[in-house]
Every structure is written in structure tokens, then in C-alpha cells.
A and B are shown apart, each in its own frame.
Chain A
Amino acid sequence: MTDIAAAAAVPQISPAADARLMLAAAARWRWWEFAVWIAALAAIVVFPRNLLLLNEIAILALFALSLDLILGFAGIVSLGHAAFFGVGAYAAGLLGKFGYGDPFLGLAAAAAVAAVLGFATSFLLLRGSDLTRLMVTLGIALMLLELANREAWLTGGADGLQGVTIGPVLGLFDFDLSGRTAYLYSLGVLFVLFLLARRIIHSPFGLSLRAVKQNPLRARAIGISVAVRLVAIYTLSAAFAGVAGALSAQTTQYVSLEVFDFIRSADVMLVLVLGGVGYLYGGIFGALIFKLMQDYLSAITPQYWQFWIGLVLVILVLAGRERIGAQLTRLFAPLLRWRRA
């Protein structure tokens, strides 16, 4: 009896409690995380001339975050994530066109449509190699592109979706020309969804996802249902991407076929890799680096900025992105306190 009581008094001995402690430790906010979000908010005052660009960064960050959920935490590679961005954009755009311009209604509809598509297509990804997954995701995005091109009566075809009118946010704040409302709106949505993603990743579910990513066979052996987890995270990721698409449609009040483009899927993967895979902030940092680079380089050489992006990518892979990541983590380890012993 006394032995058991003593054991209960020392928390480390119960494995469940230990896991809970570990999760809590990993989920704790670090100071630099606060800094990121404060900086994002402060940008409104510091860079009042670049709010439109900041808005694009916030949307791209959300899109990359959605990819991080499947790539970074479940190991699913995708070359067709634009499919979800695109259906989200068209869902919100069409609602706006037919008189239901409330921004949050658009977001909800986009998330729902994208989630349904994600759920339905997730079953195609359960088996097969990386290559098969790349091709299936790519194929789905391309089919949607063709479909949107063909059903011009609904989507506007190659001319794009015209006449999208979006009401004021919360019924109060109109989207203005300078892009302030747009940026605050997108940033707010990004923040809320980020919190949600962070909560999920640091939950027992998130932990089991990591087990699946590292070794599906072993995960299955210890009783984790791999398929259920993959379907769930893929659906969630699709919903996130759909919201990113909706933000883009609402803040530009325009949707074109480019939302489904292969280049968009490739870019978002690039963005995520630039920022680093598997720690949630990769999308945000990647979007920032990518867009600033694009803006800066295309100001110097409008035609050829892609060359430099390509070069960065090549160097990144050759130098070994994991190695770079590990080096950086070690360098900043005292600051980050990423893992607690």
C-alpha cells in the first residue's frame, strides 16, 4: 500500500502522466512565438505601404501551414494541394457573387467544401508510394482545373469569376484600397487556425500522427489506426487550404483558374520547405521569405526572379535541408528550448 502511494506521489512513474507532462511542455508558448505574432500585428504600423503584400503573405502562410499538417506531421507528399485552395476560393467567390457576401459565411462554406473534397480523396492516398501520391494529388488538381475551365457558366472560365462582392467584416469594416482590413482579417484568421493546429499537434492525436509518420508498420502494431488518422489530418488540412483560398478570393474579390495551377501547388511546397517542415511556423517564415524575395527580385529583374528561387531551392537541397535545420536548431537551442529533457 505504502509503496503504491509513494509511487503515485512521484509523477514520473505513471506513463500516462509522463506523456501528459511531455505534451504540456511541448505545448508551452515560447517567447519567440509571442514575438512573431506581435511583429505580424506591428507590421500594420511599420509598413503601411505594403499591406497588400502582407495580406498575400498571411494567406500564403495559411496555405503552407495546411500543407505542413500533412507533410510535416503525417508524411504525405502532395503536388496538388492547390485543389483545396481552389475549391475554397471558388466557394467563397461564388457565394459573394450570388449575394451572400458575408466574409465568415464564405470562410465556413469554403472550409466545408474543401473538407468534403479532402475527405473523399484522402482514401486514394492510403496506399501507394510517394510517387503514386504525388501523381494522384496532381491529377486531382488538374482535373479540377479542367472542370473549372469547362464549366464556364459557373466559374467564368478563362476570364475568371467576375462580380464578387464581399460585405464588411463583422458588418463593420469594409475592405479598403490600402489593404488594412484585408491584412487584419487574413492575419486574424491565420492566427485562429494556427492556434487550432497547434492545439491538435500537441494533443495525443498529434503525437500518434508522428508515430505514423515515423513508421506506419510499427504504429499499426502498437494499436494506432493509421487509416483513420491519415484521413482525419488530410481532411483538416484540406479545410485549412480551403480557408486560405477563400481569403484570397475575398480580399481580391476575384477568382481565376490559376487557383488550381500546378505552379501554385509547387510554390506552396517550396514555401514550406524554405521555412522548414514540421514545426508549424515553417509556413509563416517560408511565406515571408518567399514573398519578400519575390517582391525584391522581381523589382530588379521582373522576368527572371524565378531563376533565383530555383537556385535557392537547389542549394537548399544539395546542402541538405535537414542538416541545415538541425544546425539552426542547435544554434538557437538555448533560446528555443524546443525539447525538454
Chain B
Amino acid sequence: MSMKPVFARRTVLAAAAALAATAFPALAQETVKIGVILPMTGPSASTGKQAEAAAKLWIQQNGATVAGKKVELIIKDDTGAPDVTKRLAQELVVNDKVNVLLGFGLTPLALAVAPIATQAKIPQIVTAAATAIITEQSPFIVRTSFTLPQATVPMAQWSAKNGIKKVVTLVSDYGPGIDAEKAFKDEFTKGGGEVVAELRVPLRNPDFAPFLQRVKDASPDAVFVFVPSGFGSAFMKQFAERGLTQAGIKLIATGDVTDDDVLNELGDSALGVVNTHHYSASHDSPENKAFVEAFKKANNFRPNFMAVGAYDGMQLVYKALEKTKGNADGQALLDAMKGMSWTSVRGPVQIDPETRDIIQNIYVRKVEKVGGELFNQEFATIEKVKDPVKAAKKQ
């Protein structure tokens, strides 16, 4: 035991050296390493599958070299457990000396890594998790996905304008769900509507039946729903079984429920569901048509918003490296990313230089059958939406 302090002091020295090495990696190496951490197994495995496919597609389409630097992806599976995410991030930073961390399927996973990004001074690009507070947890977090309030507020506005007066909200009981519930209520009430009940379903092992029964008993005009991508099918099944549509209750949602990945499996019960989101596989632009085609060719499933988040994450890294002329220092990359704008497959986007969140168009869509397949068909656009939570804080 008396050995311990001696060892520990050496520890501090070595750690300082390790930190110094990560702070100026560009001087030492010609390869830019991107540590990608995604849930490849467990309940959120589909997120990892989509994002991995998209990141690989980007490299395949744009080459593994940018601004004279070779780009290397190191992909790790965190099984959706935050302590694993944290260890993997630490190992990637210390052992592999990555220049950028990218991915993060769920809010807790992104939050667990935030202190590491701050300590290591490298950008952490969040391509999936969508709770508003994430980017406030570290000055090195940049987001290419979306925030839930960003997708929710337009839904509330549309509902208020389209004859919906009484709404019950039903969300998964965790960060993003509570974000969505609050954002919807605030905006909808502002538009003259009334939220008659707010229901929260546990995130683990959800059983929607009793909650949907409560929705039915409240007999609102519509029920606003957020459940994370992957829970949509279980929800839709119960929704159809409860006969809510027959009772005249409309289903309105964020695009997570009618996720492109599972939309076809939902079956005809999903037809006509109105929802708002930032990406649909049927988005009408030449960029998106090329992307969807290439994605489908490389994998045998169609891309969803998780894929687009990762695809744009990679694009952001490439654009930042071009701007810094190959300087992969964390701070330099971060500065280059702030304010960056480009044409994404989802439409025009920009990284907000103040909040490091993404500014993007939100589309109002309706589930329709096109050529035998179900798609979210966009029919209205709200342009350049900022994260409403942070916008409200500034006022």
C-alpha cells in the first residue's frame, strides 16, 4: 500500500503527457481518426445499424482523404449502456488518440461522454440523441441530428391552425419525451388549444394499452405522441387495437413514431398520420434522391433520420477539415464547425455558431402509400427552425 502514492504521482505525469499528446495531435500524425460510438446491440440497435451504414457510405462516396489527411473510422458498440459509452470514449481518446468523437444513439449516452469531450478538447458530434440540453453540457458538443422541441413546435402550430382544439399528450418518460411534452403544450396553448391530459409512459418495457385507454376516455380531438425510434411499431399496434381512430381521435406525432426504418412494418394503420420532422426518405431534392439510391444499393434497407444525422456528421468533419486546411486540432475543428452551412440531403442546414445546434427546415408530412410502400409525404415546410428551448432562454 505504501507504493500507491508513488505510482499515483507517476500517473498524473503520464496523464498530463497523454493530454498534451491529444491536444496537439495534428503535429504528430497524418491520419485523422474519428471515433464512432453507437448502440449496435440492444433495443436501439437499429440506430447503430443506420448510422454506421451512412458513415461508411460517406467515405465510400467521398474517399478516405480530405485536405491531405487520411480519415480513419474506429467504430465501437456501446450496447446502449452509458457506462460502456463512457469507457469506450475514454479509450478512444487515450489509446487511439481520436480527433473527433461521433455518434451517440440516446440522450444518456451522449451526456455520459460530455465531460470527456471537454477534458480532451475534441469535438463530440451528436448524430442521433435529441434532448435540447445536450449541447449545453460541453462547449465541444456539436449536433447534426435535431432537438425534439425543434420538431415538436411546428406540430403544435400546425394543429392549432387546423381545427384541433383538445389534445392529450403521450410521451416516453425520459429527457426527450419531457422536452416534447413541454414544447407541445407551451406552443399549442399559445395557439389557443388546450392540453387536457399529459401522459408519460415508462421507457423500459412500455405497455401502451392502459395509457391509450386513458386517451380514449379523455376523448380529445387528437393525441400527440412521442416515442423513441424503435418503439413506434409497438405503439401503432396498440393504437389500432384500441380503436382510437374509430372514436374520432387523430394521431399527431413527431417523425420518430413513423420512422422510415419501420414505417412499412406499421402497415395500413399508419396511413394518414400527420407528423413533423426534419427528414423523410421521400424528400424531394436531387441530393436526397442520389443519397437514398446509393444507400439502398449499399444496404438492403432504406435510410432514416438516424442515417442522415451520421451522414451529415461525416460531412461536417470533412468540411471543417477543408476549412482548417487539414489542421485536426480539436479547438480548430470546433471553430471551423461553428456557423458552417451546407446543403444536406434533408435540405439547407447550418450549425448555429452560438448553440452548436443545427438550424434546419422542419416539414409537415402525412403517411401515404407510394408505389406500394409507405412514405412520409412532405406537404408543408417551416424554414430555418432553431432549437426553440435555447431561443427562449436568450430572450
Q: Give chain A's interface residues, CB within 8 Å of chain B.
A: 41, 44, 48-49, 52-53, 56, 149, 152, 157-160, 162, 169-170, 172-174, 176-181, 184, 188, 191-192, 248, 252-254, 256-258, 298, 302-303
B36 to chain A, nearest CB (A): 13
Q: Give chain B's interface residues, CB within 8 Å of chain A.
A: 1, 3-5, 7-9, 11-12, 14-15, 18-19, 40-41, 45, 77, 79, 81-83, 86-87, 90-91, 93-95, 107-108, 111-112, 115-116, 119-120, 131, 137, 173-175, 202-204
Contact A173 B12 (CB under 8 A): yes
Residues of B within 8 A of A158 (CB): 108, 173-175, 202-204
Contact B83 A254 (CB under 8 A): yes
Question: How distant is the Cα of A159 from the Cα of B83 in the complex, in angstroms?
Answer: 12
Contact A56 B18 (CB under 8 A): no
Contact A256 B3 (CB under 8 A): no
B236 to chain A, nearest CB (A): 22
Question: How distant is the Cα of A44 from the Cα of B81 in the complex, in angstroms?
Answer: 26
Decide yes or no: A174 and B119 within 8 Å by CB, A160-B112, A258-B81, A303-B40 being known contacts: no
Contact B87 A248 (CB under 8 A): no
Best-surrounded residue of A49, A170, A252 (most CB of chain B within 10 A) = A252
Residues of B within 8 A of A160 (CB): 82, 108, 111-112
Contact A256 B4 (CB under 8 A): no
Question: How distant is the Cα of A192 from the Cα of B14 in the complex, in angstroms?
Answer: 26
Q: Taking chain A's interface residues, is the majority helix, strand, or loop, or is none over half, making it mixed? A: helix
Contact A49 B95 (CB under 8 A): yes
Residues of A within 8 A of B40 (CB): 302-303
Question: How distant is the Cα of A44 from the Cα of B11 in the complex, in angstroms?
Answer: 9
Contact A252 B11 (CB under 8 A): no
Question: How distant is the Cα of A75 from the Cα of B9 in the complex, in angstroms?
Answer: 43
Residues of B within 8 A of A56 (CB): 87
Residues of A within 8 A of B112 (CB): 160, 252, 254
Decide yes or no: A248 and B83 within 8 Å by CB, A177-B94, A177-B119, A178-B94 being known contacts: yes
Out of B18, B41, B91, name the residue touching A302 (CB < 8 Å): B41
Residues of A within 8 A of B41 (CB): 302-303
Contact A177 B90 (CB under 8 A): yes
Question: How distant is the Cα of A149 from the Cα of B41 in the complex, in angstroms?
Answer: 23
A266 to chain B, nearest CB (A): 15
B110 to chain A, nearest CB (A): 10
Residues of A within 8 A of B203 (CB): 158
Decide yes or no: A298 and B91 within 8 Å by CB, A149-B202, A160-B112, A303-B41 being known contacts: no
Out of B15, B95, B175, B202, name the residue touching A176 (CB < 8 Å): B15
Residues of B within 8 A of A181 (CB): 8, 11-12, 15
Residues of A within 8 A of B93 (CB): 177
Shortest 7 CB-CB contacts between residues of A and residues of B: A176-B15, A180-B11, A158-B174, A302-B77, A158-B203, A160-B108, A303-B41
Contact B15 A177 (CB under 8 A): yes
B231 to chain A, nearest CB (A): 13
Question: How distant is the Cα of A49 from the Cα of B107 in the complex, in angstroms?
Answer: 28
Q: 7 A-B Cβ contacts within 8 A?
A: A52-B87, A56-B87, A158-B174, A170-B5, A181-B15, A188-B1, A258-B81
Contact A177 B8 (CB under 8 A): no
Out of B15, B90, B107, name the residue touching A52 (CB < 8 Å): B90
